[in-house]
Every structure is written in C-alpha cells, then in structure tokens.
Amino acid sequence: MSINMKYKEIISSLPRREVSQNFTSFDYYQYKGFWFPLAFLESILFMEENFKAQPCNIFLCGSLKTGTTWLKSLVFSIMTRHHFDDSTNPILTKLPHDCIPTLEIDCDINFTSLDDTKFPLLGTHLPYTCLPQSIIDSKCKIIYICREPKDTFVSTWHYTKKLEETIPEFKDNPITLEQEIEWFLEGKSLYGPYWDHVSEYLKASKDRHGKNEIFFLKFEDLRNDTLSYVKKLAEFMGKPFSQEEEDQFVPEKIVATCEFGNLSNLEVNKSGSHNPKPGIKVNNNAFFRKGEIGDWKNLLSEDVAKSIDNITKEKLQSLIWD
C-alpha cells in the first residue's frame, strides 16, 4: 500500500466537518480529538510517524493566531544574533514563517528531520497529542504560546477574511461570523478545541517541570514585558545574553527590531506573499493586523463573550486573563 493510500484510508474513516461541497481541501477532519483541514492532515500523519527530532531542536508551538508570527521573529533573532547584525537580520527581508517553517504546513511531506538546516528551529500549530513521538522522546525544547481565547478567535476570524483575497475557494464559499463562532464554541475550529490545545501543553509543562524542556507563556505577558521575556527565552534556549551584550543593549535591539509596528511596516510584510502549500497563497500582511490585547470587544457580543468565558473558566481554571 502506498503512503498516500495508507493515509487516505485513515482519513476517510475520520469524523468530518464539511465546509463546502465545492471546497473539499478545507473540509475538517477530527483526529485524536482535534480538527484539521484535509490540506494539512496527510502531512500531519506522515510527520507523526516519520519525523526524527534531534535533542538540539527547538520547537515553537501554539494554536493559530496566538502570537506565533511574533514569537518566531523574536526567537529567530535571539538564536541568530551572532550570525547577523542589525542590518542583515533576515527578519527584515523575510516573513518570520519563511525564517522558521511550520512543520505540517510549510514542509514537504517527505521532510523528516532538521539535520541539514543551519538553525535548529521549527514551528508547529499541532496539539501536544499530535506531535511526532520523536519530539517527546528526544527531550528537545518546546516553547508554547497561548492567548486569551476571545482575542484568539477574533484574530483568526480576520485572518480567514484575509484568505479570501488570495484563495478563490474562500471567496466563493464565504463562512459567516455566526457559523465560525458556533464551530469555535463546539471545538470544531482549526486545530480546535482551542481550550484543549492550551490545556495539553500546560499539563505537559507541569509534568516536565524542572527539566527545562517546555517554556509555557501567554501572549499578554510577552506583550506587556517583552524585554524580560526575551532574556528568559534566551536562557531557556541555551543562548543567554553575555554581560557585554547587555551593556551594548542587544536584547533591547532585538525587541525593537521585532516590535509589532516595525514588523508590519517592513516592505516584505506589506507586499510579499507566502505559499505554504501548492495552490495556497497568503499575503504576508494577513499575518499582521493589530496585535492588541482586548480587541475582541470590537467584534463579539456580550453573550458570545460570556459563552467563551464560561468554557475558559471550566477548562483553563489555572490560567487568568484580565
């Protein structure tokens, strides 16, 4: 049996959330309790069995629209600061997702390791349950970012609307805000249920506490105290800033380079595009909207906000968002 046939048979047996009869590539399938589009699922199944993580690898994890683009820019700048100066940092000319690819989206299905890459960094939106086993077994480092659920939903909604500009099938089969809200509350959103995605990594970080393997952070904390977290991330990654670097304000320069306003105004992020899969084109500006805390108030009704909050209180009791 070919690889494709093997995974097609698995996928055909999974629960399905249909988007449109004319747009099956983005029908969602439930695998291990989470929902993924058909366009990514075959890669996910292959990577789960065949990807070989190395102990030196660092994985940047988080559900969709939780701050992963910004996190990638910060982590890449920390890791590569001895290779580039302020004017040659690739972050200035490339989308952060092109500097650190996302495992199940950007990598070819036959991609099995990071052996041949210069920097051992890789991103993923995968839930902890769906990570390739080698990532867990190799004890490589994981940095996980989460975000207040209402803001996560709103950011994802605006991102989906941006996709309509470059993917005709999205434009021809628009999904209403009401439908997206219903799916989010039911846990049927992309990589959802969102609350389970967060809780799995939170539990793993507690289970592996003291082993320096998982760095769990909230977008809001990173936004409110970026400099402090840049230093903490550098320590966690095994790339602490020297006293000389501190005296030369290297951490501050990284924060300034990766500041949201600066990134969103770079020419590459205003006019470039990203092609994660054949037939899928995303304008780079889709990854940069506001990056604000509390923007959900501009879109969601009080009733919807309350419904999301109730689930958050039930499933993420130990996490507090103001």
What is the distance of C-alpha 122 from the center of its chain?
Answer: 11
Q: Which of 66, 82, 73 is nearest to 293 (CA)?
A: 66
C-alpha–C-alpha distance, residues 50 and 307, integer Å: 40
SS3 27: coil
Going by the DSSP 8-state scheme, the letter that residue 138 receives in this structure is T
Q: Which amino acid is at 68?
A: T
Find the helix or strand (DSSP H, E) in which 103 lies.
helix 103-106
SS3 142: strand
Q: Would you state the structure tokens that stand for residue 69, as one six-digit string?
A: 């683009």
Residue 197 annotated among the catalytic residues of the structure:
no
Burial of 141 (0-12, 13-18, 19+ CB in 10 A): buried
Q: Which of 82, 83, 125, 274 is catalytic?
A: 125
Residues that are catalytic = 125
